[in-house]
Amino acid sequence: MTELVLESPRARGLFVLTAHPEGCRVLAQRQIERAEAAFEKPLAGAQGKTALILGSTSFGYGSSTGIALRQAGFERIIGIGYET
């Protein structure tokens, strides 16, 4: 059974504060598929290492960068961000 989820759009300036859960899942899956296509094999020297993402505060650049680094072979991803 499919659960109906209604989200009322809320925004602060240019930033949307709410999103539909299924849309987020689909977007994440697309990013994973793109990363898999970009990195057919891990980067040399990435295995077992930790990557640090500065500015990892949203589902945008921080999330997609983490997905790409994970696919590139990094074992751990640490994201640091600051929002006001």
pLDDT tens for 12-53 read 776 667 777 777 788 889 989 999 999 888 889 999 999 999
d(CA 69, CA 75): 9
**pLDDT tens-digit readout, 57-70:** 766 678 888 999 99
How do the domains of the chain map onto residue ranges? 11-80
Burial (CB count <10 Å: 0-12, 13-18, 19+), residue 84: exposed
Q: Is the pTM value of this prediction over 0.85?
A: no
